[in-house]
């Protein structure tokens, strides 16, 4: 269980770092770009991937390119969601994305639907509606508070679907991870170069260091999650449920206690329903 706890901590730490970035004047776009420098380098160092598999016929390059585009874009959306909607809603929305992934598993990958999983999907959709509701705020603030978590919800589901597509192709995990991070690095820096050319930012050492720290937390989330699955190879549903529930619970604690995020009773009910949805969706 130690690996699961470490993965949960790293996942929530990513959101905390994104929350603190704005407060300390860190350019989030640059930080996200430098994050992929760290994850790419750490993947090469820790996993020593053989890249020969990427040159074989049938390598899922459509999936790799899709992930290379989506990973940095949705990371930026997560940062915006943390800024406008808070850590609690953002982490819960990210974890609830498994609801859309389950639908895709039924419709695209031929997985058998069960009563528990269908119930989890239904409860998850209700939970998402409860969490993004923001009454008592001005129109622009309320719009941002529900719009960004919704993008995170859909975006991470799309990423998970592409991960499944890549996994089905049989490409080794380490090589796939290296390809995804390398492509995401190129896309992320292309976005930042566009901002630099138009005079909207300049590269700084502080932003680079913040991004490398963000990448360390991001990579830690991935590597500890993989190690947890390896340590509990015969209990994957336990790892999946514990990881998602742990992130929702710890995110809620950190958001409300450390950052004083205000949640309505309906929002709190949504967080509770998110936990119920995850339990139902991963049952069996």
Domain ranges of the chain: 2-282
- Cα–Cα separations (whole angstroms), residue 236 to 47, 125, 227, 239: 21, 24, 12, 5
Q: In this model, does residue 144 exceed pLDDT 80?
A: no
Residue 140, pLDDT above cutoff 70:
no
Give the pLDDT confidence score for residue 134 in this predicted structure: 66
Predicted TM-score (pTM) of this structure: 0.92
How high is the pLDDT of residue 91? Answer: 94
Alpha helix segments (H runs only) across the chain: 2-23, 28-47, 61-85, 87-96, 98-107, 115-132, 139-168, 173-197, 205-231, 236-253, 265-282
Q: Which of these ranges, 46-55, 71-80, 101-110, 213-222, has the smallest mean pLDDT?
A: 101-110
């Amino acid at each position: 269980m130690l690996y699961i706890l470490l993965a949960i901590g790293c996942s929530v730490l990513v959101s905390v770092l994104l929350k603190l970035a704005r407060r300390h004047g860190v350019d989030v776009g640059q930080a996200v770009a430098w994050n992929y420098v760290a994850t790419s380098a750490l993947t090469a160092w820790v996993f020593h991937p053989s890249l020969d598999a990427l040159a074989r016929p049938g390598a899922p390059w459509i999936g790799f390119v899709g992930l290379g585009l989506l990973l940095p874009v949705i990371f930026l959306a997560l940062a915006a969601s943390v800024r406008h909607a808070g850590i609690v809603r953002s982490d819960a929305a990210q974890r609830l994305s498994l609801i859309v992934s389950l639908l895709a598993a039924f419709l695209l990958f031929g997985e058998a639907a069960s009563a528990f999983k269908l119930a989890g999907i239904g409860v998850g959709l209700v939970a998402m509606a409860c969490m993004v509701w923001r009454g008592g705020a001005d129109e622009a603030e309320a719009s941002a508070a529900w719009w960004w978590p919704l993008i995170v919800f859909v975006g991470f589901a799309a990423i998970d679907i592409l991960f499944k597509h890549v996994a089905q192709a049989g490409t080794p995990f380490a090589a796939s991870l290296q390809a995804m991070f390398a492509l995401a690095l190129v896309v992320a820096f292309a976005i930042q170069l566009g901002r630099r050319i138009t005079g909207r930012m300049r590269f700084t050492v502080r932003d680079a260091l913040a991004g490398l720290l963000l990448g360390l937390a991001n990579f830690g989330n991935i590597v500890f999650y993989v190690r947890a699955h390896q340590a509990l190879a015969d209990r994957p549903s336990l790892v999946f449920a514990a990881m998602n529930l742990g992130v929702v619970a710890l995110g809620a604690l950190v958001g409300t206690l450390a950052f004083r995020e205000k949640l309505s009773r309906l929002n709190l009910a949504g967080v509770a329903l998110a936990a119920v949805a995850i339990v139902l969706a991963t049952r069996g």
